[in-house]
Homo-oligomer: A and B are copies of this chain.
Amino acid sequence: MYNERIKRAELQSRIITATQAAALFRDQMVVASSGFTKAGDSKAVLKALAARAQEDPLQITLLTGASLGHGTDGILTTAHVLKKRMPFQVDPILRQSINDGEVLFIDQHLGESAELIHEKVIPKVDIAVIEALMLEEDGSIVPTTSVGNSPAFAAAADKIIVEINMSVPVSLHGIHDIFMAGNWPNRQIIPVTDAGTRIGSHAIKIDPEKIAGIVLTETTDSPAQINERDDKTRAIAGHLLTFFEREIRLGRLTHRLRPLQSGIGKVANAVMEGFIDGNFHDLTMYSEVMQDSTFSLIDAGKLLLGSASSITVSEACYHRVFNNFEKYKPHIVLRPQDISNAAEVIRRLGVISINTAIECDIYGNVNSTHIGGTHMMNGIGGSNDFARNAYLSIFVTQSSSKAGAISHIVPMASHIDNTEHDVDIIVTENGLADLRGLAPRERAKLIIANCAHASYRDELNDYFSNACKTGGHTPHRLQEALSWHTRFKDNGTMLRTVPL
């Protein structure tokens, strides 16, 4: 059985248990793991490491592609294994520890971490744990449902532990496109000129001597949560589709649009699903993650090609796709995240990027990471890799939430990840603001009128007109600029409470 997945016969003797693998780690090591938006992550070894730490405490720096599934980050946190963590996470237990200052988190552009490793800017990787579909005759690693940073980790690590996941169908063989640009002064062009261009090989070349152990697993990826489309996400998708139709009428886009990127979250997925009913055709995606909507669009004959660094889908979609993989395979490429998120390629392809904001301010600055300016949610992820270089950089958010207590359009963003220079379009269920070619004062009027919730609109207008009295290119009243956030903290609502 497993022999078919370990084509290099001499490696078959390196099979060990997850517990044995966990014994290879030492305190203060730098550990890297595969895994990107919960896909293709370590299912066994990191958990065994947490179990071991209960009796034999140790602390590590953990690098990944992006988020891990199966609560692994939480389990590692509870076992006090994590000293430092980068570049992204979505785990509620880990998040709490980060915000308590216990785990040091480095929130990095997902497109950049591989380069920092190659350039030895972040510490040397001691052990890499990489989930694999199989090992080839030359020992190279065929990844599973994500590529993430695995090529960089495998190249940098002293030792590699491979987790062969027997549950992933071997029909995935061939969907990966592994390319490394190399380092200065020999850093190469990334010759992707179309969402589907293949530029590398199907597997990660390694020195097989580095393989310190092979662990067999059969746990599938954590399924993506399904968020039913609701009135708000439907309205946001509607505004965006109307906007695209207008751009087509103006001759700036065609019904093919441009290669699409859509971030995590229910809104982005709803927008993508919206394309099924529209007049759009021959679409392509150049994105980070393929979600359920990617496969719905392939089924509908609308999407020609999806390129990303992972496949993260619901349980139902997982079965549909992987039980019929030959159907989807010609439409899919999985790339390392420094290629899926490469500035060079995103700009060359003129990507249309759609990401979710935690909050936007009236001048178009976007907070993607910090609740109330202080508390980390997930991380910047690839949002700025795309927003910074996209042809069209779109941010979506609800206008308000928590029964109206939170306005997602605020006078001043309490933290800024995507600056006014990188945000073209803001959309809420109320409407869309096209900020291109507008000065800050013009943007403020448009964002307040089109995007803000009715119950906050007057106060935003008051803020803006008072701020204009003190002048400036970007008028603000600094003493009030963050008062909505402090009010929420004190009163549980950003709404101005009636004075006694």
List chain A positions with a Cβ less than 8 A from chain B. 84, 98-101, 104-109, 115-116, 119-123, 181, 183-185, 187-189, 191, 193-194, 251-252, 258, 342-344, 347-350, 365, 370, 372-376, 380, 384, 388-389, 391, 414-417, 419-421, 436-439, 441-442, 467-468, 470-476, 478-479, 481-483, 485-486, 489
Choose one: B104, B187, B374, B415; the contact of A350 (CB below 8 Å). B187
Question: A252 touching B121 by the CB < 8 A rule?
Answer: yes
CB distance from A482 to the nearest CB of B (A): 4
> Contact at A436–B375, with CB atoms within 8 Å?
no
B376 touches A472 (CB 8 A): yes
Interface of A is mostly: loop
Extra pairs beyond A106-B439, A376-B474 (19, CB < 8 Å): A101-B475, A104-B442, A107-B473, A115-B391, A121-B252, A122-B436, A184-B258, A185-B194, A189-B348, A343-B347, A343-B388, A343-B389, A344-B348, A370-B472, A373-B478, A376-B473, A388-B388, A414-B476, A478-B482
Please, which residues of chain B bring their CB within 8 A of the CB of A473? Answer: 98-99, 105, 107, 370, 374-376
Q: 18 A–B contact pairs at CB < 8 A?
A: A84-B439, A99-B473, A105-B473, A115-B347, A120-B252, A184-B349, A187-B350, A343-B347, A343-B388, A343-B389, A344-B348, A370-B473, A373-B474, A374-B467, A374-B470, A374-B476, A417-B421, A479-B483
* Whole-angstrom CA separation of A391 from B478 in the bound complex: 34
Q: Is the CB of B184 within 8 A of A350?
A: yes
Bound form: Cα–Cα A479–B487 in Å:
10
Q: Which residue of B104, B258, B467 is within 8 Å of A441 (Cβ)? A: B104
Q: In the assembled complex, which residues on chain B have CB atoms less than 8 Å from the CB atom of A420?
A: 107
Knowing A105-B473, A374-B476, the reply to whether A189 touches B191 (Cβ < 8 A) is yes
Report the separation of the CA atoms of residues A104 and B438 in the bound assembly, to the nearest whole angstrom.
Answer: 8
The copy count of this chain in the complex is: 2
Closest to A284 in B: B185
Contact residues in B for A342 (Cβ distance below 8 Å): 347
Across the interface, A106 reaches (CB within 8 A) one of B104, B184, B372, B438, namely B438
Residues of chain B within 8 A (CB-CB) of A370 are 472-474
Q: B343 near A476 (CB under 8 angstroms)?
A: no
Q: From A106, which residue of chain B is reached at the shortest CB distance?
A: B439
**Are A104 and B374 neighbours in the complex by a CB distance under 8 Å?**
no
- Is there an interface contact between B189 and A189, defined as CB atoms closer than 8 Å? yes
| A365-B416 contact, Cβ under 8 Å, with A189-B189, A421-B109 | yes
B471 touches A375 (CB 8 A): yes
Chain B residues positioned under 8 Å from A375 (CB to CB): 471-473
Q: Are A439 and B104 in contact (CB under 8 A)?
A: yes
CB of B344 within 8 A of CB of A347, answer yes
Across-interface contacts of A104 in B (CB, < 8 A) = 438-439, 441-442
Bound Cα distance A482, B442 (Å): 24
What distance in Å separates the Cβ of A126 from its nearest Cβ neighbour in chain B?
15
Q: Which residues of B contact A181 (CB under 8 A)?
A: 348
Residues of the B chain whose Cβ atoms lie less than 8 Å from the Cβ of A472: 99, 370, 372-376
For A415, the chain B residues whose CB sits under 8 A away are 474
Taking the nearest CB of chain B, how far is it from the CB of A418, in angstroms?
Answer: 8
- Could you tell me the distance between the alpha carbons of A389 and B347 in the complex, rounded to whole angstroms? 13
Question: What are the residues of chain B within 8 A of A475 when measuring CB–CB?
Answer: 101, 374
Contacts of A191 on B, CB cut-off 8 Å?
Answer: 189
Distance of A375 Cα from B360 Cα, bound (Å):
20
Residues in B whose Cβ lies below 8 Å from that of A489: 478
CA distance A100 to B388 in the complex (A): 29
How many Å lie between the Cα of A388 and that of B349 in the bound state? 19
CA separation between A142 and B107, bound complex, in Å?
46
Residues of B within 8 A of A380 (CB): 421
CA distance A437 to B124 in the complex (A): 12
Q: In the complex, what distance in Å separates the CA atom of A415 from the CA atom of B415?
A: 10
Interface centre among A347, A388, A389 (most CB of B within 10 A): A347
Q: Considering the chains assembled together, what is the distance between the CA atoms of A473 and B374 in angstroms?
A: 6
Residue from A108, A436, A481 whose CB has the most chain B CB atoms within 10 Å: A481
**Given B99, B251, B344, B436, which contacts A471 in the complex, CB threshold below 8 Å?**
B99
Closest B residue by C-beta to A475: B374
Q: Choose among A191, A252, A479, A486 the residue with the greatest number of B CB atoms under 10 Å from its CB.
A: A479
A99 proximity list for chain B (CB < 8 A): 471-473
- Please, which residues of chain B bring their CB within 8 A of the CB of A436? 116, 121-122
